[in-house]
């Protein structure tokens, strides 16, 4: 028997207004393209960390060139991650990717006392588009008013494949 590697499972999504609101709330947003890549993550999720370490540089570079809008939106699954997500929202915008990298590296990160911000609103909206865990990635084309959602880890090549499908 020959086993073939299957491509990523992409589920159609057509909730343009909800995706736009999620992009507005995302603590990390780079670029301003009609094509968006929105990653829902938990700072204690090992597969979120892997996805970030492997794909973040490429996604930031694509967003800087205007190919995509790259955003990261909190979706707290692990209770001990909530203070980290609050701290992320208290961190200066230009320092947030560095904060995420430090949290994912396992370094001790000082969290201090930060307000919740719109963390719960972000999670509520995420559930409206079908997010139920992390990592989850939405690939959305605003010009077409549709996109795809993927649940779970994706390799960088699978991420690029999904972007090209937009």
pLDDT of 8-43, one tens digit each? 678 878 889 999 999 999 999 999 999 999 999 999
At 5 the pLDDT is 52
Asked whether residue 5 is assigned to any structural domain, the reply reads: no
Give strand pairing partners of 39: 72, 137
At 109 the pLDDT is 84
Tell me the mean pLDDT in the region 91-116: 90
* Share in percent of the chain as helix, strand, coil (round to 5): 45, 20, 35
CATH number for the domain that contains residue 100:
3.40.30.10
Provide the domain limits for residue 26: 11-164
The total number of structural domains in the chain stands at 1
Residue 24 φ then ψ, to 5°: -65, -35
Highest mean pLDDT among 7-16, 111-120, 130-139: 130-139
Asked whether residue 32 is assigned to any structural domain, the reply reads: yes
């Amino acid at each position: 028997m020959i086993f073939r590697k299957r491509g990523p499972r992409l589920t159609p999504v057509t909730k343009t207004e909800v995706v736009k609101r999620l992009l507005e709330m995302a603590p990390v947003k780079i670029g301003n393209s009609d094509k968006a890549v929105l990653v829902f993550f938990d700072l204690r999720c090992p597969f979120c960390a892997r996805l970030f370490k492997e794909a973040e540089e490429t996604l930031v570079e694509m967003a800087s060139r205007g190919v995509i809008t790259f955003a990261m939106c909190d979706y707290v699954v692990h209770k001990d991650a909530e203070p980290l997500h609050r701290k992320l929202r208290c961190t200066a915008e230009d320092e947030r990717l560095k904060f995420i990298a430090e949290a994912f590296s396992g370094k001790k990160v000082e969290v201090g006392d930060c307000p919740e911000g719109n963390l719960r609103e972000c999670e509520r909206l995420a559930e409206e588009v079908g997010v139920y865990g992390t990592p989850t990635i939405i690939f959305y084309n605003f010009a077409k008013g549709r996109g795809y959602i993927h649940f779970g880890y994706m390799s960088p090549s699978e991420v690029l494949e999904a972007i090209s499908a937009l």
